[in-house]
Amino acid sequence: MTLLIVNILILMIYNIIDIKKILHNLQQNRYNEDNRYLKWILKNKKTVFVRPIFLYTLIFLLSYIFDLNIILIISILFNIYLIINFINYLKKEQVKKPLVNTSRIKRLWATIFIIYTIIIFIIFINYNERYINYYLLSLYLIIYFNYFVVYLANIINIPVEKYVYLSFKRKANKKLKSLSNMEVIGITGSYGKTSTKNFLYDILNEKYIVFKTPLNYNTSYGLIRTINQYIDKYNDYFIAEMGTLKKNDIKTEASIVKPKYGILTTIGTAHLDSFKTIENIAKEKFALIESLPNDGIAILNKDDKMQVNYNIKNNCKVCWYGIENKEADVVASDIEYSSNGMSFNVIIDNKKYPFKTKILGTANIYNILAGITLAKELGVSIEQMQRGVLKIVPVEHRLQLKKYGNINYIDDAYNSNPVGSKMALDVLNLMPGKKIVITPGMIELADKQYEYNYNFGTYIADVADLTILVGEKQTIPIKEGLLSKKYNLDKLKIVNDVKDAIAIAQTYFKGEVYILLENDLPDIFNER
């Protein structure tokens, strides 16, 4: 009995480490929203089913040969091995964003604890020394299937999570009603949401008191939390970034924040895995515009054909911005690029006004134009807009230029996409010195994923003096795109860890070096 208890206690230490790792995976997969967690399991069968703990079956077979006490001692040693092996693995693992110990994670821990307590309780109330090896085998097998234990706990908690969500939603709705002087601006689109949010914030703050959703709080949960914890009665405007992973997400978020103004950045192929077609993506994004009241204002991109051709089911005022389409209400022209920023003119009511910014990339001109277009409607003067645009600083991990001695990083690590990745290469091409691209490629592009990554490889071939691909399997399309342009194989490196890629890049060339970090996939996509 004593050896069994020791076995279980040591095994539970391993179990806690294992469950923590799996909960991290579940969290990165949005708690199985739109079955993301299950889809990940199906794509990563080796990780889920080839697990060292399964080796206990061999120890169990030995129980038919050796004395029970010997088997229990072997089992204890095996448990210690599992713990040491797991700790060594975690030390080597590259974790970009650790598990966030939210209230939801704590509730999942409680549910999993109850599940295992029930299992262990059943073992002890039915204890019979003859079946000790079977008790242990049962425990090992349940732990072996921990990915599904966590999935079960997540299902069990659904009613609790719905209750928590609805209670916080009611609180947020009540608070918004009390802030009758504050108006809400919603921002959505396939790309550029966060940048547009931050740029608009800087522009409007020249005249008004403005609050924006922090970090990436662009889900219904994030918006509710923002309202309940951060917004106060002194705000004139609340800028709400609104993201989507599945159908009706935008509609749900709009029902929470009730925006009067809506900005649509671009409609592209992000999240094709979920929406299947770009038409479905357009319909989802336009849910923001169609939620606006009749006296609301929609700010749309005149250079985006999907927006121009969309049949809007709303009679609110529509204002257009653009660069190529000169019929837009607000147009950028005479754009000049340098490694230090951009200057351009903005045409408003047939008059040209000069603007300067420290940020880089054509897509950011569009993001600035969206902010200027709405700011004009909200009574911000040209001078205030110019000051606001000049104050804009790069958004973290979005074409953010960082300098360390002779090494310059263009950090575009967040959420690479077909449009943004091409623009990042255009920015890199402006720079002097040697140019290096580090990338794991793009994801969540459904049947277009190979095509877009292949094209990305062809673009890299025209710019990079050195290309370092992160992840041998997932970057195959990029490699093939590079080779189609007869890219020199001596200038191509493939690693499975971004740390190794950066180590190579930092020492490969002498003199001035510009390193583009294009995309940084979540830990669930690691090939290590």
- Residue range 373-393: mean pLDDT, rounded: 96
- Residue range 312-316: mean pLDDT, rounded: 93
Question: Does the pLDDT at position 276 exceed 90?
Answer: no
State residue 416's pLDDT score.
Answer: 67
Within a 13 Å sphere around the CA of 126, how many CA atoms are in the beta-carbon half?
10
Q: What angle do CA 114, 117, 118 make, to 5 degrees?
A: 85
- Residue range 329-337: mean pLDDT, rounded: 94
- Residue range 325-334: mean pLDDT, rounded: 96
State residue 94's pLDDT score.
Answer: 63
Give domain limits for the chain. 2-156, 179-391, 400-525
Q: Using a pLDDT cut of 90, give the percent of the chain over it.
A: 62
Structure-block tokens of residue 332:
């950028």
Question: Are the beta carbons of 261 and 185 closer than 8 angstroms?
Answer: yes
DSSP state for residue 82 in the 8-state scheme: H
**Which pLDDT tens digit goes with each residue over 168-223?**
999 999 999 999 899 999 999 988 899 999 999 999 999 999 999 997 789 999 99
Which three-class secondary structure state does DSSP give residue 182? coil
Please state, in angstroms and rounded to a whole number, the distance separating the CA atoms of residues 382 and 494. Answer: 49
**Which pLDDT tens digit goes with each residue over 40-72?**
999 889 999 999 999 888 888 887 787 878 888
Domain 179-391 part of CATH 3.40.50.200: no
Structure-block tokens of residue 159:
């009613």
Give yes or no on whether 179-391 and 400-525 have one common fold.
no
* pLDDT mean across residues, the chain: 90
Average the pLDDT over each of 238-247, 319-328, 446-455 and give the range with the smallest value. Answer: 446-455
- Residue range 444-466: mean pLDDT, rounded: 89
Round to the nearest angstrom and report the end-to-end CA distance of the chain: 40
> Any residues with CB less than 8 A from the CB of 398 and at least 6 apart, and which?
194, 195, 411, 412, 414
Structure-block tokens of residue 360:
């880089």
Q: Give the helix ranges, DSSP H, for 44-100.
A: 45-49, 56-62, 68-92
Question: Which region, left, alpha or beta, applies to residue 242 given φ > 0 means left and ψ of -120 to 50 means alpha?
Answer: beta
**Which pLDDT tens digit goes with each residue over 218-235?**
999 999 999 999 998 899
Angle between helical axes of 278-289 and 249-257 (0-180°, round to 10): 10
Of all residues in the chain, what percent are helix, strand and coil, respectively (each to 5)?
A: 55, 15, 30
Distance of CA 178 to the CA centre of its chain: 33
Please state, in angstroms and rounded to a whole number, the distance separating the CA atoms of residues 419 and 410. Answer: 16
Average the pLDDT over each of 85-94, 99-108, 127-136, 310-319 and give the range with the smallest value. Answer: 85-94
- Residue range 235-261: mean pLDDT, rounded: 94
Handedness of CA 524, 525, 527, 528 (dihedral sign): negative
400-525: CATH superfamily: Mur ligase, C-terminal domain (3.90.190.20)
Q: What is the model's pTM? A: 0.79
Question: Does the pLDDT at position 411 exceed 90?
Answer: no
Structure-block tokens of residue 110:
């409680």
